[in-house]
Amino acid sequence: MSDDTIYLQHILACISRIERHVAGGREAFLASDLLQDATLRNLQTLSEATQRLSAAAKATQPQIPWAQIAAFRNVLVHVYLSIDLEQIWIVIHHDIPPLKQAVRALLDAQP
C-alpha cells in the first residue's frame, strides 16, 4: 500500500466523520461545542493529510485547491480564535463534496 493510499483513506475517514458531525443540520452544529470541536479537528487532520500526498497524486486532480487546503489547516491551528463557524459550514457543504469525489477517484486509480 502506497503512502498516498494511506493518506487518501485517512482523508475519506475524516470526511465521513465530518459528515456525521453535521448531519443534524446547521443549527445543531452551531449550538454544539462538541460538534464544532470534532468537526474542526477532522478538518485540521484532513488538511494535514492532503499536504502529505505526493505531487503526482495531486496533479491528477488539478481542480482541487490543494494549496488552499494546506493554508486552511494553518488557519485552523494558528488563527483559531477568529474561526467563523458560518464559513466553516460553507466549507463543509461547498468544498468537501468535490474533495471527497477527487479522493475517491485517486483511490480508484491506485494500483
The CA–CA distances, whole Å, from 101 to 36, 62, 96 equal 24, 13, 9
Q: Phi/psi class of residue 32: alpha, beta or left (left: φ > 0; alpha: ψ in -120 to 50)? A: beta
Kindly name the residue from 10, 41, 52, 73 that is annotated as catalytic: 73
Instruction: Give me the domain span that covers residue 67.
Output: 3-109
Quick one: pLDDT band at residue 1, thresholds 50, 70, 90?
low
Residue 20 annotated in active site: no
pLDDT in tens, 27-61: 999 999 999 999 999 999 999 999 999 999 999 99
Quick one: pLDDT band at residue 3, thresholds 50, 70, 90?
very high
Residue 79 has pLDDT above 90, yes or no: no
Question: Does the pTM exceed 0.95?
Answer: no
pLDDT in tens, 55-66: 999 999 999 999
Residue 78 annotated in active site: yes
Number of domains in the chain: 1
The CA–CA distances, whole Å, from 56 to 8, 59, 77 equal 13, 5, 27
Kindly name the residue from 26, 78, 93, 94 that is annotated as catalytic: 78
